[in-house]
Amino acid sequence: MASGGTADSTTGLSRTLASDNWPQRILSFASEPLNSEQEAKVRAFASILMIHLSSRAWIGALGTDPINLRYVAFAIPLTLAMMAVLLGRHVRAAFFLATLTQLVICITTFPEIANHRYLETLCIAALCSFDLSKSEERATLLEFLRWSLVIVLFHTGLQKLMYGTYFDGQFLGYATATSDRFALFFQFFMPSEELERLQSQVPLEPGSGPFAVPHLTFLVISNAVWIFELVVPLLMLWSRTRTWATIAAIAFTLSIQMGAHEFMFGLLFTNMGMLFFTRAYNRWLIVPLAVAYLYLILATIGVAPWPEGMFIN
């Protein structure tokens, strides 16, 4: 790692070729030329992740009536850890505390726990495990986090392919029938009679359906989802297509997650996705995202406006 702002010309590929270390060879598929931006990039990622973890715990604590004291107990150490990371004091201890808290959350709420909680825990455990003051360790951490995102995104597509409910649009048809937020989006991609037919299936009972939607535009979108999720992660690994594939992945995932009201996963994905850019653009996101998370907390307690019936998750 070049320090003091000078770029090192050593590339991930040359590191790969120079090494007979098989794990490094695998990790290097997600590498980039060592450069002076990596330190800022990793630190910005860590800051945003800590804000994310702390906010999520407070939303879990304050989003119920009465207040969920168990989540308050999780939110306090995560907030202390966040402050330490943002101030740059006792950072290793803060990562350790946050990892421990996340593990306790996973264990005590298993199995009723969202999948992105595991991904968050993986991220913070990775930050805890690598020495961020060493350039080689930072580079390996970046490779690990990039690979993690690639695998997760690839699996979301692969699983849709294996379950087979997107070929004829039946999953999205069901979602459109039973969920206003899906109907709001997909009403533009099917005739109004089809939308009425789907929504007339509710309330559900045995025999309700069919939910397959025989309309070309809808089927194109339904199948584009899983194809995109399978192909784009591979393009994010290839250095020539990485930038555009990353922009597409972030835009795609954010729009889907916002549509599905899975704000937390959308924000976590964005934070991880920003690691694919060579430049540390994510440092410019710390303040806006901190404001966004603060807004979500304020909306949770009813101080900031929020659409009625829309949950914060």
Site for another protein in 23-52 (CB under 8 A): 23-24, 26-27
Would you count residue 115 as binding another protein (CB under 8 A)? yes
Closest contact distance (angstroms) between CB of 287 and another protein is 29
Q: Which is nearer to another protein, 132 or 286 (CB)?
A: 132
**Least Cβ distance, residue 241 to another protein (angstroms):** 21
Q: Which is nearer to another protein, 58 or 154 (CB)?
A: 154
Q: Which residues in the 152-191 window bind another protein by CB under 8 A?
A: 152, 155-156, 158-160, 162-165, 168, 170-171, 173-175, 178
Give the residue, chosen from 76, 147, 199, 313, that forms a contact with another protein under the rule CB under 8 A. Answer: 147
Q: Which stretch binds another protein (CB under 8 A): 61-69, 92-100, 268-276, 298-306?
A: 92-100
Those residues whose C-beta lies under 8 Å from the C-beta of residue 287, and which sit 6 or more positions away, are none
Under 8 Å CB-to-CB from 288, ≥6 apart: which residues?
none
Question: φ and ψ at 190, to 5 degrees?
Answer: -150, 155
Is residue 266 close enough to count as binding another protein by CB under 8 A? Answer: no
Which amino acid appears at position 268 of this protein? L
Joined together, the tokens standing for residue 263 give: 């704000």
Taking CA atoms, 214 is separated from 71, 160, 205, 210, 300, in Å, by: 45, 19, 22, 10, 40
* Least distance between another protein and beta carbon 284 (Å): 28
90 binds another protein (CB under 8 A): no
CB of residue 158 vs another protein: minimum separation in angstroms?
Answer: 8
In the bound state with another protein, the residue whose beta carbon lies nearer, of 151 and 291, is 151
Binding flag, residue 218, another protein (CB under 8 A): no
- Contact with another protein (CB under 8 A): which of 58, 74, 211, 228? 211
Asked if 140 is part of the footprint of another protein (rule: CB under 8 A), the reply reads yes
- Tell me the chain's radius of gyration from C-alpha atoms: 21
- Using a 10 angstrom Cβ sphere, with 0-12 exposed, 13-18 middle and 19 or more buried, the burial of residue 167 is middle
Neighbour-count burial of 270, counting CB atoms closer than 10 A to its CB (0-12 exposed, 13-18 middle, 19+ buried)? buried
**Closest by CA position to 219, among listed 186, 182, 252:** 186
Least distance in Å: CB of 101 to another protein? 14
Which member of 65, 112, 193, 308 binds another protein (CB under 8 A)? 112
For residues 298 and 213, what is the distance between their CA atoms, to the nearest angstrom?
39
- Are 242 and 235 in contact, with CB atoms under 8 Å apart? yes
* CA–CA gap between residue 313 and residue 73 (Å, rounded): 19
150 and 156 Cβ atoms separated by less than 8 Å: no
Q: Point out which residues bind another protein (CB under 8 A).
A: 21-24, 26-27, 92-93, 95-96, 111-113, 115, 118, 122, 126, 128-131, 134, 136-137, 140, 143-144, 147-148, 151-152, 155-156, 158-160, 162-165, 168, 170-171, 173-175, 178, 204-212, 260
